[in-house]
Amino acid sequence: MKSRIVSQNGHASILFVMIIPVLFGVFMLGTDGARALQQKARLQDASEVAVLAVTAHADQNIVGEGQAPEGGSKVNRAIVADFISAYFPDVKINGPEDLTNLRIERKECSQLADCSADGYQFFQYQIQAAFKYDTWFPGNSAIVGFGDQVEVGGLSTARKYQNNAVDLMLVADYSGSMTLEWDGGNKKKYQDLFDIIKEVALELDDYNKQKVPGQTSTIGITPYNHFVFRKKGVGGICNNVTNGDVWNVEHTKFTNNATDFQATILAAEAPIDSDVCPSSNEYKKSTFYSIGLTTNIPNFISSINRFKPSSYTASFQGIIEGYKHLKEGKNKKKLLVILSDGVDTEDHAPKGKIEPGSPSNRYPSYKKIGSTLVDKPHLLCEKVRNGLSKNGENVQLYLIGFDYRPGATNKALDECVGAGNILYANNKEEIKKTLLSLMAEEIGHLK
């Protein structure tokens, strides 16, 4: 009997040695498996927050040179990496390069199967991200495990809807420099600008075709060189102007044969119909002119197609003219978007209602006038914001600069809209997508 007991103890030891690795392997798989599920759930939460942030930012998601088409823009990749890093402080995520399989896609409503002409228009952003982290129990040849690292991923989608009607006024540079070609497109600058405005106008027209009660958006344009121009319609009281004629409007005011900045600011508040006539038959003509806020998109596009740039640059003329027209809008959301490629003219100055001359102490240059009006004490752009929002309207001023160096090309325009509202575009597609983004509003998270 005694020898039989010793023999049984030996078998139990062998069985114990065989079972322990299996039990420990189950423990390791259970522990690292539970951790992997937790990490995946946290990553899903992080990706949902990140996609909402990307959607709110509404970047055009233009992919950088040498990157995969689905990789996303530099700014969007940075946003996603920052949010995921905040959710996983114990994982070394210092930038997008530490994430695996990072994909950021932006699609317009027309690119999606569930987009309906009867429903609200939107942009959709989709984020797919993954990362690897070290396991606690990697296992070995004797004990099962997940290996040295585990990869988890998350996928989230969000949409940005265009929900409220908007009055959009484009203040467009039509000076001589716009006749030049540029690296951002295959045409001259003003021709690419027309293509951009056409697409934006057609998109706005699509929004209006939804026929949502009380939600009709409008669009207008104030092209400028060193003047702005207006066109006489049928009828009216301008007896010295032939119907269909286009004449120049000089928003700079003069007192005692000198530029009067305060009078210029005060005159900016005058209604658009108070100065619709030139003072005499001596006026300059142009192929371009201001078009007030309208819903007649075909006529709007047809008119702009005939515009041709010329002469010097005075952006303040366009801002004042755009302000006057935008005040006529009835919608609660108002956008004034300046489209410019360069500086205001420094070697010419307004000296009256017709021809400019050389700058002097009494007649500062167009560049000097622009910077003086924007700076204290005149604060032209602050007065524009206040004037447009006096009834509680949501007002934004933006600058879209193309062929434009941040902080160096036109500091007056930079200060006018504010640092957060300066959008630099390197090509035609970026400008178009930026304009479309500005029209969109509100974030909706897909369930």
Q: How confident is the model at residue 252 (pLDDT cuts 50, 70, 90)?
A: very high
pLDDT > 90: percent of the chain: 44
- Closest C-alpha to 252, from 320, 189, 196: 320
Architecture of domain 166-441 in this structure: 3-Layer(aba) Sandwich (3.40)
Model confidence pLDDT, tens digit, residues 355-385: 788 999 889 999 999 999 999 999 999 999 9
Q: Which residue has the higher pLDDT, 326 or 119?
A: 326
Model confidence pLDDT, tens digit, residues 91-109: 889 999 999 889 999 988 8
Query: CA of 259: how far to CAs of 66, 255, 427, in Å?
Result: 52, 6, 38
- Closest C-alpha to 341, from 255, 405, 391: 405
Model confidence pLDDT, tens digit, residues 281-294: 556 778 999 999 99
> For position 297, what pLDDT does the model report?
96
What's the mean pLDDT when you consider all of the chain?
84
Residue ranges of domains in the chain:
12-161, 166-441
Specify whether the CB–CB gap between 205 and 256 falls below 8 A: no
Model confidence pLDDT, tens digit, residues 150-209: 888 999 999 887 667 899 999 999 999 999 988 888 889 999 999 999 999 998 888 787
Model confidence pLDDT, tens digit, residues 64-85: 766 776 788 889 999 999 999 9
Model-wide pTM > 0.85: no
Q: How confident is the model at residue 445 (pLDDT cuts 50, 70, 90)?
A: very low
Q: What is the DSSP string of 138-173?
A: ---SSS----SEEEEEEEEEEEEE--S-EEEEEEEE
The phi-psi region of residue 352 (left if phi > 0; otherwise alpha if psi is between -120 and 50; otherwise beta) is left
Specify whether the CB–CB gap between 265 and 378 falls below 8 A: yes
